[in-house]
């Protein structure tokens, strides 16, 4: 059977669950935003792109996260956040994505006086404007930062509650250390109430396998990255038994040196075990990738078939935090597209 081409993957209707707003803005859009603020007047796109894309010599996750500080200084207004969200939605549509969950950390955009609610509503406004323009659905996940104290994270979650119906889930992001779940466990009930707003956690992005098990025990329905659980039969079994979906991000796992290369990604292992796995970009700009490219790497290095492409995207939409009508519509598209 011939390997799937980029064109075939791009045409395929896809769903994405793990995409960070601040890591996915296109350089020309950030330049527009900055110039609107009287900044970056003399930057050319090549210089700007170098500041926004992860360096080839990044040593670890902390190194990988460095470009975000540069971007975030320009995401401190409602106009900027709305424009950024519209841009990411537009990219996803062009990438053949039919449903996407965009995540961001509100506290990182409050440096010039915006409230948590204002940041959320601005991002939602950008998502909704793109939905009115393109054939794509979007929802929002709010991230607490693992660099903040538990009380600060709980405050963010509390202030996020009921702000907008497009806010469908919460997460914790940032540098990962062993035992972080217990440090923040008391913050989760602040927002997760009757499954209206649901929990997905970054866990096992670096070599912290125990964090994956702790996240599951804390009620996380999905695991962001989870690559540290690879080969750990106890944790893999727990994910399988609980019906946990892994939000896989292969390219960023290679860039943070959690994996040596794309061929080392446990794509076939997890799917053949029956594990719910979907593939994601994590950060389109910072990782210089698209969802089409992520799946192409799985086809090229991991023998992904068209039916596995279909299964991964069904996993994504079925484990998404979308409402049932969106889930049904997108799942039908994925199920029936070019069925052989």
Selected residue with higher pLDDT from 69 and 143: 143
Hey, what are 82's tokens? 């709305």
- Tell which residue, 58, 28, 43, 82, has the closest CA to residue 285: 28
Would you say 116 and 156 are in contact if contact means Cβ atoms under 8 Å apart?
yes
pTM for the whole structure: 0.96
Judge whether 48 lies within some domain. yes
Mean pLDDT of the 62-87 span: 92
The mean pLDDT value of the chain amounts to 94
Judge whether 178 lies within some domain. yes
DSSP state of 139: E
pLDDT tens-digit readout, 280-310: 999 999 999 999 999 999 999 999 999 999 9
Q: Could you list the residue range(s) of the whole structural domain that residue 276 is in?
A: 6-336
Question: Dihedral sign, CA of 171, 172, 173, 177?
Answer: negative
Phi and psi at residue 279, to the nearest 5°: -110, 145
Judge whether 16 lies within some domain. yes
Judge whether 272 lies within some domain. yes
* 3-state SS, one letter per residue, for 67-121: HHHHHHCCCCCHHHHHHHHHHHHHHHHHCCEEEEEEEECHHHHCCCCCCHHHHHH
**In angstroms, rounded to a whole number, what is the distance separating the alpha carbons of residues 149 and 32?**
34
Would you say 173 and 184 are in contact if contact means Cβ atoms under 8 Å apart?
no
Selected residue with higher pLDDT from 44 and 270: 270
pLDDT tens-digit readout, 6-49: 999 999 999 999 999 999 999 999 999 999 999 876 778 998 89
Would you say 120 and 106 are in contact if contact means Cβ atoms under 8 Å apart?
yes
**In angstroms, rounded to a whole number, what is the distance separating the alpha carbons of residues 317 and 256?**
27
Residues marked active site are found at 205
- Tell which residue, 174, 14, 37, 17, has the closest CA to residue 94: 14
Judge whether 223 lies within some domain. yes
Mean pLDDT of the 159-164 span: 90
| pLDDT on residue 286 | 94
Distances from the Cα of 312 to the Cα of 64, 187, 208, 315, angstroms: 26, 31, 24, 5
- Tell which residue, 5, 6, 2, 9, has the closest CA to residue 310: 9
Would you say 117 and 159 are in contact if contact means Cβ atoms under 8 Å apart?
yes
Q: Please, what is the Cα angle at 33 between 28 and 38, to 5 degrees?
A: 115
pLDDT tens-digit readout, 229-263: 999 999 999 999 999 999 999 999 999 999 999 99
| pLDDT on residue 64 | 80
Strand partners, 169: 141, 198
Judge whether 179 lies within some domain. yes
Give percent of the chain with pLDDT exceeding 70: 97
Q: Please, what is the Cα angle at 291 between 266 and 322, to 5 degrees?
A: 95
Q: How many domains does the chain have?
A: 1
Q: How many residues are given for the chain? A: 340
**In angstroms, rounded to a whole number, what is the distance separating the alpha carbons of residues 224 and 18?**
7
The CATH number of residue 43's host domain is: 3.20.20.140
**In angstroms, rounded to a whole number, what is the distance separating the alpha carbons of residues 41 and 186?**
45
Hey, what are 339's tokens? 């069925």
Judge whether 1 lies within some domain. no
Cβ count near 209 (within 10 Å): 20
Judge whether 246 lies within some domain. yes
| Three-state secondary-structure class, residue 37 | coil
Hey, what are 85's tokens? 């969200």
Identify the H or E element spanning 247.
strand 245-248
Mean pLDDT of the 56-80 span: 86
- Tell which residue, 6, 20, 61, 5, has the closest CA to residue 247: 20
């Amino acid at each position: 059977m011939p390997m799937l081409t980029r064109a075939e993957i791009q045409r395929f209707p896809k769903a994405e669950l793990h995409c960070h707003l601040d890591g996915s803005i296109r350089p020309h859009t950030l330049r527009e935003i900055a110039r609107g603020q009287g900044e970056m007047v003399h930057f050319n796109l090549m210089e700007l792109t170098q500041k926004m894309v992860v360096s080839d010599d990044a040593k670890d996750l902390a190194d990988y996260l460095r470009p975000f500080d540069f971007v975030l200084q320009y995401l401190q207004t409602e106009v900027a956040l709305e424009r950024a969200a519209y841009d990411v939605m537009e990219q996803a549509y062009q990438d053949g994505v039919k449903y996407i969950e965009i995540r961001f950390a509100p506290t990182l955009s409050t440096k010039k006086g915006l409230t948590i609610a204002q940041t959320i509503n601005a991002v939602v406004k950008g998502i909704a404007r793109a939905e009115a323009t393109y054939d794509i659905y979007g929802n929002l996940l709010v991230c607490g930062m693992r660099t903040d104290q538990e009380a600060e994270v709980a405050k963010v979650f509390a202030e996020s509650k009921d702000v907008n119906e497009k806010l469908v889930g919460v997460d914790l992001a940032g540098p990962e250390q062993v035992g972080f779940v217990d440090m923040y466990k008391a913050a989760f009930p602040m927002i997760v109430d009757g499954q209206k707003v649901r929990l997905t956690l970054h866990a096992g992005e670096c070599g912290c396998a125990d964090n994956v098990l702790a996240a599951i025990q804390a009620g996380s329905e999905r695991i962001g990255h989870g690559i540290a659980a690879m080969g750990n039969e106890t944790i893999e079994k727990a994910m399988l038994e609980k019906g946990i979906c892994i939000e896989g991000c292969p390219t960023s796992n290679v860039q943070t040196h959690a994996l040596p290369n794309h061929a080392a990604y446990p794509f076939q292992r997890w799917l053949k075990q029956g594990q719910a796995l979907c593939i994601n970009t994590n950060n389109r700009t910072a990782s210089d990738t698209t969802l089409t490219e992520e799946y192409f790497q799985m086809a090229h290095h991991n023998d992904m078939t068209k039916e596995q492409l279909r299964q991964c995207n069904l996993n994504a939409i079925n484990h998404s935090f979308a409402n049932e009508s969106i889930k049904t519509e997108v799942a039908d598209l994925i199920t029936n597209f070019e069925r052989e």
